[in-house]
Amino acid sequence: MVDAVEDETAFYSKAERYWQEVPPTVDGMLGGYGSISSIDINGSKKFLQRFLGDGKGKTGTSCALDCGAGIGRITKRLLLPLFRTVDLVDVTQEFLDKAKTYLGEEGKRVENYFCCGLQDFEPEPGRYDVIWIQWVIGHLTDDHLMRFLQRCQKGLRPDGLIVVKDNVAYEGVVLDEVDSSVCRELALVRDLVCKAGLRVLHEERQENFPDEIYQVYTLALR
């Protein structure tokens, strides 16, 4: 398991150093797979829109949080078109600086740029309708992931939603030495969600991604 990582500090600092060397572009954010961005965003939009609306039990659209936001690829194409305001959090300041130009005119509706690792980040209680966590849970140890999800739960408005979208291993946990991250099998992700005291409302596999990359699943949590 991730918590068998011998040196937690090294696990995080190595990842920070990795991302400091990555160019602040869509291709950089997606590890050279910039071409999948539209397929990814369209799948996410379809997933999210089933929850949004005005009726009873529907998730509001006033404010969203983009976790591990990078230069704001998801904020620009998914969250700003659907929410009145958005906050971004990322561990790499250079990415957040780039986001301010990358997001263009619509970026005026970004209220906060937080430079912080998710293991240390505390969402403001009761602020967010949706907290979007994509391609970043592998940078957290099991314990830190559970605690972060619990803090996110406190950060939700009534009928708010946490969405986790990430690579899923076929079996067990796969360590990536290059960017200092892990990829967990789906059962382990579900188990950590459950241990954190949240439940999975809906999950689905992202279709039409290249065969050579990990399978990707999206989970709606509350």
Residues placed in the known binding site for S-adenosyl-L-methionine: 68, 73, 90-92, 118-119, 134
Q: How far apart are CA 101 and CA 86, in angstroms?
A: 15
Task: Please give the structure tokens belonging to residue 85.
Answer: 């305001």
Cα separation, 79 vs 74, whole angstroms: 6
Q: Could you tell me which residues are beta bridge partners of residue 200?
A: 221
Q: In a 3-state reduction of DSSP, which class is residue 192?
A: helix
* Exposure of 193 in the CB half-sphere (CA atoms within 13 A): 22
The span from the CA of 16 to the CA of 112, in Å, is 21
What whole-number distance in Å separates Cα of residue 126 and Cα of residue 122?
A: 12
Q: Tell me the helices (H) and strands (E) count for the chain, helix number first.
A: 7, 9
Binding site, annotated residues: 68, 73, 90-92, 118-119, 134
What is d(CA 5, CA 199) in angstroms, rounded to the nearest whole number? 27
At 103, list the tokens: 């997001």
Buried-state track 79-117, b at ≥16 Cβ within 10 A, e below 16: bbeebebbbbbbbbebbbebbeebbeeebeebeebbeeb
